[in-house]
Amino acid sequence: MKVLVTGGLGYIGSHVTTLLLERNHEVIILDDLSNTSLSVLNSIENITQKKPFYEQINLCDAAAVKALFDRHNDVAGVIHFAAHKAVAESVAQPLKYYHNNIEGLLNLLDLLVPKKIPLLFSSSCTVYGNADELPITEHHPVKAAASPYGATKQMGEQIITDCCNAQAGFHAILLRYFNPIGAHTSAQIGEAPQGVPQNLIPYLVEAAAGKRPALQIFGTDYPTPDGSCIRDYIHVMDLADAHIVCLAHLLEKKQTSPTEIYNVGSGKGHSVLEVVTAFEKATGISVPTKIVGRRKGDVLQAYADTTKINTQLGWKTKYSLEEALRSAWAWEQRRNN
Ligand code: WQD
């Protein structure tokens, strides 16, 4: 089947594209290269020995998006990753996030809804805010967003749900990711943040490689067993597999409602300090750390109840936290060589 992957050269998008190609889908990658590079396309081709279509398009260019669908009028499904995703940057530059993430989605929906092309939307556990109950199920209330980035995910979910309710035959799945980490088993693709990494694992591996000063631990005075925040870290390869399962569910029209929501995580919570220890044990590499104050906007704990995706779609994780951390280190080493 022909599948359009927006943001297909990004961190998660490139891992999903690789799996789609390996499962003999025809893939069109749309990416504006604002947070990645064309070298990722070569890596995908090296891994899969297949060449996806690639078009450098920003979804805010409505005419370009329409022209793409005119050229490819047999797209069976769309996986939508293309969005800015840096929480702190979104606070400083909200309009950059609302224009890119919302306008881009609206331009895409203008084409998908009337054509009833199913959509798989990249959402985030950030929509839950500071969870009232753990593990977090899909029934947990969506809370006021803590950042414009989080608000664009919540608005995106609402916009898509309204379109599914309005247009019979237009279906979508909203995937709420927890914390994706790690890299492809080949170490040819992985997370390559531009500038100083904002997320834990990309900074941790660069500190371990001596490329950055010590990893700052943002607070060890939280009400958790060791005082540091708890998250659900999921191997990006497991997360990519969940997209393949969800896409099949959409394409085979097995949905029970126009919009379905699934949490995608490991289902396990680990603290920042536990992750540092696990990395050192898994790789034998020590990580220089420095305990500092809390980071504004951090939630205390977030880890998924994955019963719904396990039981309804038969998906479950295959990789451990240690395997994810080892893959992140292997990717960092390859980047440095
Ligand atoms: C994890 C933990 C930090 C960096 C965000 C977005 C989420 C998704 C993933 C896009 C926290 C601590 C971090 C560091 C640290 N993004 N930390 N030192 O904030 O859970 O989620 O990124 O989809 O939507 O909200 O991820 O990796 O930034 O932080 O101590 O240098 O690591 O305080 O407890 P987060 P993170």
Neighbours of 237 (CB within 10 A): 21
What's the average model confidence in pLDDT over 159-165?
98
State the distance from the centre of ligand 1 to the C-alpha of 172, rounded, in angstroms. 27
Taking the C-alpha atoms of 83, 194, 32 and 7 in order, what is their torsion angle to the nearest 10 degrees? Answer: -50
Asked if 120 and 78 touch (Cβ cutoff 8 Å), the reply is yes
Residue type at position 12: I
Question: Is 186 among the domain residues?
Answer: no
Task: Give tens-digit pLDDT for 241-250.
Answer: 999 999 999 9
What is the atom index within ligand 1 of the atom nearest the CA of 203?
Answer: 31
Does residue 130 share a domain with residue 20? yes
Determine the distance separating the centroid of ligand 1 and the alpha carbon of 68, expressed in angstroms: 35
Within this chain, do residues 168 and 295 fall inside the same structural domain, yes or no? no
pLDDT attached to residue 255: 86
Q: Cβ(98)–Cβ(152) under 8 Å?
A: yes
Q: Does the C-beta of 98 come closer than 6 Å to ligand 1?
A: no
Q: Which residue has the tokens 């398009």?
A: 57
Residues with Cβ < 8 Å from 41, sequence gap 6 or more?
Answer: 9, 29, 52, 54
The CATH code of the domain that includes 212 is 3.90.25.10
Do residues 92 and 215 share a domain? Answer: no
Is residue 275 in contact with ligand 1, taking CB distance under 6 Å?
A: no
Q: Phi and psi of 325, rounded to 5°?
A: -70, -40
Q: Is 200 in the pocket of ligand 1 (CB under 6 A)?
A: yes
For residue range 255-268, list pLDDT tens digits in order: 889 999 999 999 99
Distance 200 CA to ligand 1 centre (A): 6
Query: Measured between alpha carbons, how far is 162 from 62 in angstroms, rounded to an integer?
Result: 21
Same domain, 77 and 207: no
Cβ(146) to ligand 1 under 6 A? no
State residue 253's pLDDT score. 87
Closest atom of ligand 1 to 125 CA is 24
Question: CA-based angle 127:316:45, to the nearest 5?
Answer: 90
pLDDT at 166: 98
The catalytic residue positions are 149
Tokens 């005082």 sit at which residue? 227
> Does the CB atom of residue 229 touch ligand 1 within 6 A?
yes
Domain shared by 225 and 102, yes or no: no
Domain range for residue 255? 2-181+234-264
Torsion over CA: 18, 327, 271, 88 (sign): negative
